[in-house]
Amino acid sequence: MPEALSSGEVAKEVQEHLKHAAHNDPLSREMRLVVVAEAILLSIITIATAWVGYQAALYQTESRNVSTEATNTRAAGGRALATAEATRSIDASAFNTWATAYVLRNQDAMQVAARRFRADYKVAFGAWIATRPIVNPSAPAGPSYMPQYQQPGKVVWQQDTKEATRLSLLAAWNGHVADHYVRITVVLAAALFLAAISRQFKYRRVRFSVDIIGLIVLGYGAYLMFLLPAIT
């Protein structure tokens, strides 16, 4: 009969077996750490990709909203300018009526025409009369050329045009930031692909190399994210 092994020899054999098994086991302590690190890396990339996509969507929405606001503001300014031009035409017509009555020396018609002047136009008309335009060749051509002649609609148009230009630039900037966030999603997608495909390689060095490359790509994506403003 074969000789039985002593307890010491059995313990030694078990230790050798466990050591051998740990060496051949693909999920040894070292590999388990690698798997956990890869899972963390995948989680980080997934969260970063979702956040970047969210920021891109926010900036795209903001760009559209601001662009719409710019269009509405420009349209409002255009309406104000049209009103100002219409008012100027009304003032010119009223002045022509007064001037015709003056040429005809019809005092009653002159008074009727003057009463029809707008309140703001009466101020400019009085200032123009004070320049003695009949005998003063250097006098302005009419009340509408006086500094006192104000066109609130034209002022509104200038302000709205300036604001619409600012909003248009802001909308373009928001769209530019959104495009950059979309480009970062491409970088993070590459990092995600590398982190996922690394598990397919049996050789540790190859697997580690792919993981490191994925980590570097993630770092580059994080650097690009750091350069961009975020909507909170």
pLDDT (tens digit per residue) in 35-64: 788 888 888 988 999 999 999 999 999 999
- The helix/strand/coil state of 219 is helix
In a domain, 9, yes or no: no
Q: Which of 49, 35, 39 is nearest to 187 (CA)?
A: 49
Please report whether residue 56 resides in a domain. yes
Q: How many CB atoms lie within 10 A of CB 48?
A: 20
**5 located within any domain:** no
Amino acid 27: pLDDT: 53
Residue 141 within any structural domain of the chain: yes
Cβ-Cβ contacts under 8 Å for 216 (sequence gap 6 or more): none
Specify the pLDDT at position 30: 67
Is residue 12 domain-resident?
no
184 falls within a domain: yes
Structure tokens at 15: 């230790």
Q: Is the pLDDT of residue 70 over 90?
A: yes
State how far the Cα of 189 lies from the Cα of 179, in Å rounded to an integer: 15
193: domain range?
30-227
141-147: long-range pairs with CB below 8 Å, 24+: 142/92, 142/95, 143/91, 143/95, 144/88, 144/91, 144/92, 144/95
What confidence score (pLDDT) does residue 163 get? 96
The answer to whether residue 4 is domain-embedded is no
Residue 218: inside a domain: yes
Residue 19: pLDDT band (50, 70, 90) is: low
Count: domains in the chain: 1
How far apart (Å, rounded) are the C-alpha atoms in residues 81 and 76? 9
